[in-house]
Structure 1
């Protein structure tokens, strides 16, 4: 099968595009309106961008009436948001918060979730979620699309605070996926829950630098940078001394 999106018909009863890019992390984003009303909504087009400093991004299509999502409006107005890990035990609450309701409705209350104050940003977090990122708004990239829902706002934020429940950290000091049970978006109306993992190391990635990069260790990255500066300073000093 081959088709050109928006030009030729794929001939299937359901559009296959989103079902091809799976699984997708869920950006369960909490925000607060300028008047102080909490908002919570899931977005299935979300990812981390880099690790030192950490940035995340998610995209929000316009609504069926062509308006921008409440989450986007709140983030741009206040400059803050929180990513909450969507988990299997919280799946029904995630689904409830996906419903589009009038602006100003508190989704925490609709989904019977507990609010937890963030440490660095003025946004409520989902207390029941085991992992949360406090984020500061960085920028919006708006991609034009076909009306009414095709246009999308891509929100980028810098992670300034990370909350991890002690109970999901194992004896190796790693987050245990089987304990968090994150859910991911698939195609159509399908989701997946992650309980099993396997490890692979890239062939030839035996050096500490490569492995720390794969891990996403900001500490190792900065130590590498500081070491390079120190060695560079010594080399320059020695070079000047020899010339004298």
Structure 2
């Protein structure tokens, strides 16, 4: 049994009708996205700062993000194209100079992180728009967000276009060349103490979650 139009058609299992089957080829991009973000949770947030060719800072969050491996130390995030099919500022900047910083988003930065997601002109600096201060990085020219508990300075290893046009997915993989870790979250072993780092995660829709509730 099927219902909906060609952009939202969803099939139920004919034998039991106790679950549905969503074919990405039969539904809209929006339906695919909503399904993914509802199921892939919680998602860590890469608060990515970059610099344009003109030296204008950009800051934006991406929740299609994760660590890749430790040898070499690598992370990845996936910026999608704008509605007009052009790359977002973050992607254009990374492709231009090959550098970015992943700022760790903890609870106190939740609101400013969301504000930095606004779609603004390339010549507008999100640090200025959100009232955030910049702090210099060690090995890249891109600044980090001042007062974050941790940040990862990265150099681009590769950038791949996975889908063209409106909402087209792109993959950016970067090598971590330096970690910034505030003294307040350094453990007795001299490494970041996860019990002191209260990150937030992205859920489906506009919702987020705290990571204070932990178990082993």
Larger Rg: 1
Q: 1:81 aligns with which of 91, 100, 106?
A: 100
In the alignment, what sits opposite 1:38? Answer: 57
Distance in 2 (CA, whole Å) between partners of 1:8 and 1:55 is: 33
Structure that is richer in helix per residue: 1
Quote the offset at 1:181 in angstroms. 1.2
* CA displacement, residues 6-57 of structure 1 (integer Å, 9 cap, x when unaligned): 3158xx9x93321101111111100001111111000110011010220111
Q: 1:5 aligns with which of 4, 11, 24?
A: 24
With 166-175 and 103-112 compared, the bigger mean Cα shift is at: 166-175
Q: 2:214 aligns with which of 197, 201, 204?
A: 197
Quote the offset at 1:73 in angstroms. 0.5
* CA displacement, residues 134-157 of structure 1 (integer Å, 9 cap, x when unaligned): 101111111125x421x1110011
With 153-162 and 14-23 compared, the bigger mean Cα shift is at: 14-23
User: What TM-score does the superposition give when structure 2 sets the normalisation length?
Assistant: 0.84
Q: 1:126 aligns with which of 124, 145, 165?
A: 145
Structure 1 stretches of 4+ moved >4 Å: none
Verify the 8 A CA contact 2:34 2:204 in the aligned structure 1: no
Verify the 8 A CA contact 2:67 2:76 in the aligned structure 1: yes
Asked if residue 71 in structure 1 is aligned to residue 69 in structure 2, the reply is: no
Verify the 8 A CA contact 1:40 1:71 in the aligned structure 2: yes
Secondary structure of 1:61 counterpart: coil
Q: 2:200 aligns with which of 183, 192, 196?
A: 183
Q: 1:93 aligns with which of 112, 119, 127?
A: 112
* CA displacement, residues 176-211 of structure 1 (integer Å, 9 cap, x when unaligned): 445321011111111111113233xxxxxxxxxxxx
Verify the 8 A CA contact 2:136 2:144 in the aligned structure 1: yes
Q: How many residues align?
A: 194
Asked if residue 148 in structure 1 is aligned to residue 154 in structure 2, the reply is: no
Structure 1 runs not aligned, ≥5 long: 200-244
Q: 1:160 aligns with which of 177, 201, 206?
A: 177
Verify the 8 A CA contact 1:81 1:136 in the aligned structure 2: yes
Quote the offset at 1:174 in angstroms. 5.2
RMSD: 1.8
Secondary structure of 1:39 counterpart: strand
User: What TM-score does the superposition give when structure 1 sets the normalisation length?
Assistant: 0.75
Secondary structure of 2:115 counterpart: helix
Asked if residue 57 in structure 1 is aligned to residue 76 in structure 2, the reply is: yes
Distance in 2 (CA, whole Å) between partners of 1:183 and 1:6 is: 32
In the alignment, what sits opposite 1:112? Answer: 131
